[in-house]
């Protein structure tokens, strides 16, 4: 059944404790602990001219079960207190929820220490490199997460940094992560970076002019985020329930939670 399965869910165990085979022969028996679970879900980040927007759905799954309909994936990082009122960074984590939370707590503690020692918040570029170091330190027992870091850079422009589980990172205009990344990412290429869009009547072949890349206004980006998740919810069972959106501007961080389909 699973041999030629096009459904990744059927290709391996989805639980931390893999089922012990009941037909195992007597005598020697191998016991195994699987330290990772895929908790599904999806995240998305877009950098604007003077803002960055980070979003994630709030469903938490293991296998075909929904463990909770409200588990946030986007976190404020680097505030002075636990209320995070004066936080200047955003981190989204998707993959294995326990590792995501551990990573978030560790990065937050480091940013808080930096603030205490230097008397100023950590810049997004410094935090980006620091996060990469933290993740690579666990190169051979990684945090099983796809992380995205967001904030405003030194010039006040929106910044988005995306990571693989071992800390390889890159600054980008936009990025989707997690279960529905493959559904959302081409949409972002097309609608944020205007890929495959050309100005009509500017010639044929290589003479065609690409549509100019203008930074999108905040209200348009919010609509794109909502549309991207509504589409992902429609076709991916691990995505749904709620959409947590955080927007960082020079005036601080705004948070809202919108409903998504719960089926």
Partner 1 sequence: MSSPFSINGGACVAMVGKDCVAIACDLRLGLQALTVSNNFPKIFQYGDVFLGLTGLATDVSTVSDLFRYKVNMYRLREERNIAPSTFANLVSSSLYERRFGPYFVSPVVAGLDPKSGRPFICGFDSIGCIDFAKDFIVSGTASEQLFGMCESLWEPDLGPDDLFETISQALLSAVDRDALSGWGAHVYIVEKDKVTKRLLKGRQD
* Residues at the interface with partner 1 (CB under 8 A): 4, 6, 180, 182-187, 189-190, 195-197, 205, 227-228, 230-232, 234-235
Name which of 4 and 140 has its Cβ closer to partner 1: 4
Torsion angle, alpha carbons of 242, 190, 46, 231, to 10: 0
Q: Which of 231, 255, 260, 230 is nearest to 243 (CA)?
A: 260
Name which of 105 and 227 has its Cβ closer to partner 1: 227
Stated length of the chain:
263
At closest approach, how far in Å is the CB of 162 from partner 1?
A: 14
At closest approach, how far in Å is the CB of 241 from partner 1?
A: 18
At closest approach, how far in Å is the CB of 120 from partner 1?
A: 39
Name which of 7 and 81 has its Cβ closer to partner 1: 7
DSSP 8-state class, residue 88: -
Q: Can you say whether residue 142 is alpha, beta or left, with left for phi > 0 and alpha for psi between -120 and 50 degrees?
A: beta
CA distance linking residue 144 with residue 138, whole number of Å: 10
8 Å CB contact between 111 and 127: yes
Name which of 44 and 77 has its Cβ closer to partner 1: 44
Alpha-carbon distances, residue 188 vs 114, 122, 149, 184, 218 (angstroms):
34, 29, 17, 6, 15
Q: Whose structure tokens read 């326990």?
A: 98
At closest approach, how far in Å is the CB of 126 from partner 1?
A: 31
Name which of 156 and 203 has its Cβ closer to partner 1: 203
Name which of 3 and 28 has its Cβ closer to partner 1: 3
CA distance linking residue 57 with residue 22, whole number of Å: 37
At closest approach, how far in Å is the CB of 180 from partner 1?
A: 7
At closest approach, how far in Å is the CB of 45 from partner 1?
A: 16
Alpha-carbon distances, residue 124 vs 77, 163, 198, 208, 252 (angstroms):
10, 14, 34, 37, 14
At closest approach, how far in Å is the CB of 208 from partner 1?
A: 10
Q: What angle do CA 129, 221, 52 make, to 5 degrees?
A: 25
Name which of 59 and 76 has its Cβ closer to partner 1: 59
């Amino acid at each position: 059944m699973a041999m030629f399965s096009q459904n990744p869910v059927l290709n391996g165990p989805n639980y931390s404790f893999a089922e012990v085979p009941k037909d195992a022969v007597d005598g020697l028996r191998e016991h195994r602990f699987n330290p990772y679970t895929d908790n599904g879900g999806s995240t998305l980040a877009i950098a604007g001219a003077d803002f960055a927007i980070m979003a994630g759905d709030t469903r938490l799954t293991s296998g075909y079960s929904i463990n909770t309909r409200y588990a946030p994936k986007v976190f404020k990082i680097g505030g002075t207190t636990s209320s995070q009122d004066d936080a200047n960074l955003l981190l989204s984590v998707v993959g294995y929820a326990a590792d995501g939370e551990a990573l978030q707590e560790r990065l937050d503690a480091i940013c808080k220490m930096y603030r205490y020692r230097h008397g100023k918040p950590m810049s997004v570029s410094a935090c980006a490199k620091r996060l990469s170091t933290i993740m690579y330190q666990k190169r051979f027992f990684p945090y099983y997460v796809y992380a995205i870091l967001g904030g405003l850079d030194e010039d006040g422009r929106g910044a988005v940094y995306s990571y693989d589980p071992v800390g390889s990172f890159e600054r980008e205009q936009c990025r989707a992560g997690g279960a529905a990344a493959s559904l959302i990412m081409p949409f972002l290429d097309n609608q944020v970076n205007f890929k495959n869009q050309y100005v009509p009547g500017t010639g044929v072949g290589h003479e065609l002019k690409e549509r100019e890349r203008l930074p999108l206004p905040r209200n348009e980006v919010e609509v794109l985020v909502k549309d991207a998740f509504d589409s992902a919810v429609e076709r991916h069972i691990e995505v749904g329930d709620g959409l947590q959106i955080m927007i960082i501007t020079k005036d601080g961080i705004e948070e809202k939670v919108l409903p998504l389909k719960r089926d």
